[in-house]
Amino acid sequence: NAGVTQTPKFQVLKTGQSMTLQCAQDMNHEYMSWYRQDPGMGLRLIHYSVGAGITDQGEVPNGYNVSRSTTEDFPLRLLSAAPSQTSVYFCASSFTPLAAYNEQFFGPGTRLTVL
């Protein structure tokens, strides 16, 4: 049981380049989400998904796309990287809470630098 995995751990991009941050979980969680962490800002929600084929925007979605074709995977795509997207990105997953108590499990994070 690997939990939530993210690749890569570090990435440097040039402005205008595109890339995909990978996230996978092996816990059969319905809910998956992407956060970004910036100094002094805490973590802010980018996009989330409550199941395969269902995605929606979070607090800071601009410049990012997501899709959810399987329960396990939830990739985050940067369409045209900008320096403002320099951040640490976290993927998280949980069961959709019928009990409303389920813990969200976080991946190890991806540190992205856009030059």
Partner 1 sequence: AQTVTQSQPEMSVQEAETVTLSCTYDTSESDYYLFWYKQPPSRQMILVIRQEAYKQQNATENRFSVNFQKAAKSFSLKISDSQLGDAAMYFCAYRSGIGGGSNYKLTFGKGTLLTVNP
Residues that bind partner 1 (CB under 8 A): 31, 33, 35, 40-45, 48, 50, 56, 58, 88, 90, 92, 94, 96-98, 100-101, 103-104, 106, 108-109, 111
- Cβ distance 46 to 34 under 8 Å? yes
Whole-Å CA distances, 82 to 8, 18, 74, 79, 87: 18, 10, 22, 9, 11
Cβ proximity to partner 1, 17 vs 102, nearer residue: 102
Shortest Å distance, C-beta 77 to partner 1? 20
Q: Specify the residue, 78 or 92, whose C-beta has the smaller distance to partner 1.
A: 92
Return the number of the residue (18 or 96) whose C-beta is nearest partner 1.
96
What 8-state DSSP symbol labels residue 105? E
Residue 108 CB, nearest distance to partner 1 (Å)? Answer: 6
What three-state secondary structure class fits 84? Answer: helix
Closest CA to 73 of 2, 24, 8: 24
